[in-house]
Chains A and B, each alone.
Chain A
Amino acid sequence: MTPDDALRTRLDEAWRDPPGLWGFLTTVDHKRIAARYIVTALLLMFLAGVLALDMRWQLSVPDNDHMGPQLYDESFSLHGSTMLFLVSVPLMEAMAFWLVPLMLGARNMAFPRLGAFSYWLYLGGVLTLWIGHAMDITPDLGWFEYPPLSGPTYSPGHRADIWAQMITFTEVAALCASVNIVATILKMRPPGMTLARMPVFLWAMLIASIMTSLSMPAIMLVTSMLISDRLVSTHFFSPAGGGDVILFQHLFWFFGHPEVYIIFIPATGFVSSIVEAFSRRPLFGHNVIVLSILSIGALAFGLWVHHMFAVGLPRLGNDFYTAASMAIALPAGLQIFCWIATMWSGRPRLDTPMLWMIAFVATFVIGGLSGVMTASAALDLQLTDTYFVVAHLHYVLIGGALFPLFGAFCYWYPKATGRLMSERWGKVALTGIVGGFNLGFFPMHLLGLMGMPRRVYTYPASMGWEPLNQVATAGSAIAVAGGLVFVANALISYWRGAPSGADPWGGSSLEWATESPPPPWNIAYAPVVHGLTPMWNGSRPLPVMDGLADDHRQVLITSVTDAAPLYRQTSASPSIWPLVAGLAVSAMFIASIFTPWAVPVGTLLIGITLTGWFWPRRPRAKQGPLGTGG
């Protein structure tokens, strides 16, 4: 029994967006918001890739004059800031926005308008950095802009301010997204989906979001302190005034290290979903994987000093952080063993998404091993600021997060579009990206061991680094070509791909219970869950409950641990206020680069827009001093 046409019509009426541009600006549909997040981030990934290729061109021969030092500094700063702040984290949030409600059998996120607000602020951060670049105000101090170099003395102008405010934008967006994701997962699970029956994907998104809430305040605080040092002459980071530049590093890495896991942990969710579906058996060691993610989430907050081994901290401190950094390899290793055991004991199907998972395991293990090496303070002192670190971080971030993301893209693409991507071209793209990546980045380990420092715009021929650099450049070009095939495959399949049906892969979780692409209301009835793999229930029909409103937007709220139904909540309708509030916040952030008065004036503006946003529409009071009588 599927929803009849009358029910579909009523649900369409209640949940559809207004048509045209107004609908585009006011939508609170989590799928539309996530899709624009993904498209924006993929465009930026392309731009960052072009920058990378340009830098590889510069480094392919010694004494190259394709770029000068300033342009090179700007290129790696723009590349790193874009990839870390505007691509990796937002893409993971976008995947959560898109998938979490579908995987819960829910009709929208907990706070739909907050989701829209997150995107607009994220876009504000994107425009700040890239319009700044177009106006030649490009940050040029790397993706972490340490003072004193970024302070008022050594960085006049506004390059550092652009970087700092871009971060404020994206972090406010990420914090709003994380609250939204946590509330959705904790309070909107379908009846029966107790915490013990929650898929790993949802655990991963929950833990990554809690980590975001606990780590991103650190970067907002530290960039605000930097801006105030630059704008109103505070002395947080000026030793002459009693400040301390190392404080910046502590606060930055208190965010920066968990950030690596905020990117990686959602990827473990993708891997768990895909490995389970393509191994055609329930995930081996579900509880072990969940506990591993939890312990990675906790340990990630105790490692930040390993980014600072070279600044001259006390020996005992270094020893502690060496031990803690090595300890995190244990839960990460346990996860890898569980995924391999799932493949080993299942009946694996080697379609493109699964091949990405295998590429992930191989690449991430290499990145993990070089991580264990650099966790040693003694060895790190030799390797820090060399190409070894460049190799390590790309193996971890590209191998550990982007490969699972590419696999996830291929896996859920049919759900989003109703069409299958070409398997043949998918495999061509995978071969190009994975092969080119390893060819491009593995030699960098050796270059680092040979002493080539990172962030140099050129090197003399006498160093003997040319052959490996040429291999690296060739690898990067192959990887970028593979990326173009991937994008072309996605674009062409959007129009020409074979229809996928609701569940082309035989997936185990609830997003496959609805049609592809899902309608604005996602699913007609609230599913009832009896196990970890609700879609694998033999040939029995999917148990569901009716009774949610079909004449207005309504969602089911359940209890935190047992997912027992509690009440039915009205879900927010489309609104222009998230965009207006986003504009007010943007005006304040941008103006505060130039004047501190932006803060009080901006606060007032934001207050007005938030009042418009939250003003409930209800009848006027009849009683009370301001009542209308009657």
Chain B
Amino acid sequence: MSGVPDIEIVGSLADLPTSATGARHLVWWGNIGFMLIEGTGFALAAASYLYIMTQAPAWPPRSDALPGLLWSGIFTGLLLLSELPALWVLRCAHAKDARGVRWGSLVMTVFGFALLVPRGFEFAHLGVLWHQDAYGSVVWLLLVLHTTHIVTELGESAVQTAWLFTHQIGDDQFADVDDNGNYWTFVVLIWLPLYALIYWAPRAV
């Protein structure tokens, strides 16, 4: 072709592996990118909560009840507990243990379904509806956003479990399991400041 520079082959990449794990893997960085975006979204939603709180004469407004601690406590406990299988699946993925990632992912999926139960009751015991006032709006915003997270993670774990049980698992799929486990940890960690904000900020002010 016209004008393409001459080349000199100075080495070969043929001996490189065709997969990697953890931060060496390309998809790991994509996962981090989306965590950064979602984390920013949560941080800004939390900032909106604090902004509206600083503008309000009383928090929660006098007509609203305090958010219930029972179901949110159960949810938070269960979510923290779900981190154990998530971490175990991560170890299995690194060890390329097919049986471990299959059953571990199944346990994570079961946790995902189980989490929806206390989450449902949490909404019912918030003590306010989204259309009552701005306090209600922003509390519902935070809880809906995090529920989207839980549903997404449940969907991803369920589909992944179905695939893992029915197919031969290659290196790229172990990397996928790794990414899903990391994302689960992200979902758990994000909840802690939100929990403090939704349930304890109204009690602290």
Contacts and interface: CB of A to CB of B under 8 A. Distances in A.
A216 B34 CA distance: 12
A241 B132 CA distance: 7
Contacts of B44: 217-218, 221, 251, 254
Contact of A545 (B3, B11, B135, B155): B11
B205 interface: no
A501 interface: yes
Interface stretch (A53-61, A142-150, A230-238, A439-447): A230-238
Nearest to B14: A547
A515 interface: yes
B159 A187 contact: no
B37 A213 contact: yes
A242 to B, nearest CB: 4
Contacts of A614: 159
Interface stretch (B51-59, B88-96, B195-203): B51-59
Interface string B137-166: 110110000001001000100010001011
B48 A546 contact: no
A618 B51 contact: no
Interface residues of A, number: 86
Nearest to B45: A221
B37 A175 contact: yes
Interface string B6-20: 111111111111111
A178 B176 CA distance: 21
A338 interface: no
Interface residues of B, number: 69
B103 to A, nearest CB: 9
A547 B13 CA distance: 4
Q: Which 8 A-B pairs have the closest CB atoms?
A: A547-B14, A547-B13, A501-B3, A179-B33, A234-B137, A502-B3, A242-B134, A217-B41
Contacts of B48: 221, 225, 236, 247, 251
Given A499-B2, A626-B166, A547 B12 contact: yes
B7 A1 contact: yes
A250 interface: yes
27 contacts: A1-B6, A1-B8, A178-B33, A179-B33, A182-B33, A213-B36, A217-B37, A218-B44, A221-B48, A228-B130, A234-B134, A234-B141, A235-B131, A241-B133, A254-B44, A502-B1, A513-B5, A515-B3, A544-B7, A545-B12, A546-B12, A567-B19, A568-B17, A570-B18, A570-B172, A619-B167, A621-B165
Nearest to B137: A234
B26 interface: yes
B30 interface: yes
Contacts of B11: 191, 528, 545, 547
Given A213-B40, A218-B44, A502-B3, A234 B131 contact: yes
Contacts of B34: 179
Contact of A235 (B9, B14, B19, B133): B133
Given A217-B40, A242-B134, A565 B1 contact: no
Nearest to B155: A607
Interface of B: 1-20, 23-26, 29-30, 33-34, 36-38, 40-41, 44-45, 48, 51-52, 55-56, 61, 98-99, 102, 130-138, 140-141, 148, 151, 155, 159, 163, 165-170, 172-173, 176
A557 B20 contact: yes
Contacts of A13: none
A526 B13 contact: yes
Contact of B134 (A217, A235, A544): A235
B35 to A, nearest CB: 10
A624 B9 contact: no
B98 A624 contact: yes
A244 B55 contact: yes
A217 B5 CA distance: 44
A590 B172 CA distance: 35
B170 A232 contact: no
A541 to B, nearest CB: 4
B4 A182 contact: no
A601 B132 CA distance: 25
B55 to A, nearest CB: 5
A204 to B, nearest CB: 18
A616 B132 CA distance: 46
A378 to B, nearest CB: 26
Given A236-B52, A502-B4, 11 more contacts: A111-B30, A180-B30, A233-B130, A241-B137, A243-B52, A544-B9, A544-B10, A566-B24, A618-B169, A620-B166, A624-B102
A456 B32 CA distance: 46
Given A187-B29, A616-B163, A621-B166, A525 B7 contact: yes
Contact of A242 (B5, B24, B41, B135): B135
Contacts of B18: 554, 567-570
Contacts of B41: 217, 220-221
B1 A624 contact: no
Given A182-B33, A543-B7, A566-B16, A622 B26 contact: no
